Structure 1
C-alpha cells in the first residue's frame, strides 16, 4: 500500500486570525497562510501566502504559543486528513512551477482545490466538482477543532 500524504488546516490566532493550510511534501509540511480560510465556492479566490515549511510533527499541534518560532497565539487543528496530488509530476514540482491541484479527504474539507502562484503570493480556489457548495461557509458553521473539539477562543482561554 502506498503512502497517502497528510494535510492539516490549523486555525491560528496570531497577529491576525488566519488558517494555515499545510500539505505533506517530501517529508515536511509546505504551508500557506490563508487569512479568510478555504471556501467551498469555486468563484471565490482566497489569498494564500506561502510561508515556512514546518516539521511533520507539527500537524497535530494544538495549544498556545508564547513567542515561538511559529508565531505566538492559540492554535487548533481545524481540519485534517490525507490528500491526493492531481497535478502531473510530484507535488514539489507543482509548487515549484506555481500550480498545484489536490483532492482533500478531510473531516470538513472534501474535494479538489487549486493553489496558483500570482507573483509573490498564491491563490487558493475550490475546483468545480461535486463537493463545491457556494451556500456553505465552513469557517462559520464548523469552528471547532477536529482533535480537541475546542474553538480557538476556548483554546486561548485554556492557556493551551
Structure 2
C-alpha cells in the first residue's frame, strides 16, 4: 500500500531507498529484470538503499552505476519528486527481506536523461549484478511491468514525471 503522506507512516519501519526513472533521448525508460526474479516477467527501474548520512542524489547516481553500469557523465538530472513514496511488503515477504528490520520501503525518486549510447550500459559492471536483462520501454508500460505490490508507487512516479519526460 502506498500513501503520499509520510506523516501517516512510522518512517523508521521503512527502508530508506532511492530510485531513478532513467529515460533516453527518445523518451523511453530503462528497466531491468532482477537476477533473483529471472523466472518471472517483472521488470523494475533502478533503485536501492540509502546508506546512513548519504546524500540522496549521490545514492541515486551510485545505484545507477551499480545496477546499470551507467557513469554519471552520461546523465542529466531532470528533477525529483520532492517527497517520499511508501510501500508495504506483502505478508509473505515481511520478516524475510532486509533481515526483518523493515516492513516496506520509503523511496525518493529522481528523473534522469541518459545521454550515452546503449553500449554505455553494462548491467554486469558491478561484482554483484542485480539485473540479468534490460530494455527500454514506453513510460505508460511501467505499472504493468513491476511486481503488483509496487505498482501504486510506479503510477505515482509516472504521474509525477510525465511532464518532464
TM-score, normalised with respect to structure 1: 0.33
Q: Point out the structure with the larger helix share.
A: 2
The answer to which structure, 1 or 2, has the higher relative contact order (CA under 8 A, 6+ apart) is: 2
TM-score, normalised with respect to structure 2: 0.32
